[in-house]
């Protein structure tokens, strides 16, 4: 199975300015992400960015980067432009590796790509892992996914789903709730694989009201009737970088590894 990994990167970040260029053990974060993706089975890894400073940082490090339009509303739209410019065939598999995941597991990249390749009816594939704590289950920043019997996404939400009516009815204090073992709540992992043809179609799909309410872009895909396969990971992946605190944590990991 062959696939291409594309890393969309944009300079603007409300919580961490110039995030793609943040130094991690002597390399910009976007380069650290790229180095992780290169350890996967991807036949090609390329950064698709919106700023010359990012392009310069990647090319100076010796890697592939393309400068894309600056007005894309999402990383998926940026991927669609990159797919066209790379002239990938419609059946090519493209993995979207987030540009703020310098600790992304290459094996997870491979697994999500393989999950998509295994089922021709899927437009996309993503990943999830089991939620074990009530704190995560009730946290709106933790996105949940519910799947059908074919392990295809039925819905993504920031709300606590699925809701165990009988178990949770016994106590209305969510701080004391213990998740029932049979609940099997799943946390969504923001790693995506697409077929190139679907990426071309996606850029023309209208946004859905659900997407706007939940602020979850993948709901547009379900709204328009496309199927998303969900690979179940055995454990949670390393967290990405959203804040300065996250950045310091990742820097410590790289410093320890180099020691």
> To 10 degrees, what angle do helices 244-258 and 29-38 make?
50
212-250 residue pLDDT tens: 999 999 999 999 999 999 999 999 999 889 899 999 999
Q: How far is CA 239 from CA 91, 93, 104, 157, 227, in A?
A: 31, 25, 8, 19, 26
CA gap 73, 213 in Å, rounded = 16
Question: Can you give the pLDDT at residue 251?
Answer: 95
Cis status of the peptide bond prior to 28, with omega within 30 of 0: no
CA gap 1, 130 in Å, rounded = 27
Cβ-contact 227, 121 below 8 angstroms: yes
Phi, psi dihedrals of residue 255, rounded to the nearest 5°: -65, -40
Q: How far is CA 123 from CA 37, 203, 248, in A?
A: 22, 14, 36
Three-state DSSP class for residue 27? strand
Digitized pLDDT (tens) for each residue of the chain, 259 residues in all: 799 999 999 887 767 889 999 999 999 999 999 999 999 999 999 999 989 999 999 999 999 999 998 888 788 888 999 999 999 999 999 999 999 999 999 999 999 999 999 999 999 999 999 998 889 999 999 999 999 999 999 999 999 999 988 777 765 555 567 788 788 999 999 999 999 999 999 888 998 999 999 999 999 999 999 999 999 999 999 988 989 999 999 999 998 887 6
Phi, psi dihedrals of residue 134, rounded to the nearest 5°: -65, -30
CA gap 146, 86 in Å, rounded = 34
Question: Can you give the pLDDT at residue 170?
Answer: 63
The helix (H) or strand (E) run that includes residue 33 is: helix 29-38
């Amino acid at each position: 199975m062959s696939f291409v990994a594309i890393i969309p990167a944009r300079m603007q970040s409300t919580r961490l300015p110039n995030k793609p260029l943040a130094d991690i053990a002597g390399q910009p974060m976007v380069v650290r992400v790229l180095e992780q993706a290169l350890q996967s089975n991807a036949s090609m890894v390329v950064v698709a960015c919106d700023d010359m400073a990012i392009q310069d940082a990647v090319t100076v490090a010796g890697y592939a980067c393309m400068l894309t339009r600056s007005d894309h509303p999402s990383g998926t739209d940026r991927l669609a432009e990159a797919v066209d410019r790379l002239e990938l065939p419609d059946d090519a598999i493209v993995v979207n590796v987030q540009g703020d995941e310098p600790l992304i597991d290459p094996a997870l990249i491979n697994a999500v790509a393989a999950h998509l390749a295994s089922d021709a009816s899927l437009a996309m594939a993503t990943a999830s892992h089991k939620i074990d704590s009530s704190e995560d289950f009730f946290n709106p920043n933790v996105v949940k996914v519910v799947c059908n019997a074919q392990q295809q996404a039925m819905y993504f939400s920031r709300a606590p789903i699925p809701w165990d009516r009988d178990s949770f009815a016994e106590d209305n204090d969510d701080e004391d709730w213990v998740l029932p073992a049979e609940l099997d709540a799943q946390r969504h992992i923001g790693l995506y694989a697409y077929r190139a043809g679907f990426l071309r179609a996606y850029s023309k799909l209208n946004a859905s009201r659900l997407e706007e309410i939940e602020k979850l872009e993948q709901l547009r895909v379900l709204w328009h009737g496309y199927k998303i396969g969900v690979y179940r990971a055995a454990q949670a992946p390393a967290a990405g970088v959203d804040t300065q605190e996250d950045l310091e944590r990742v820097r410590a990991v790289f410093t320890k590894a180099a020691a």
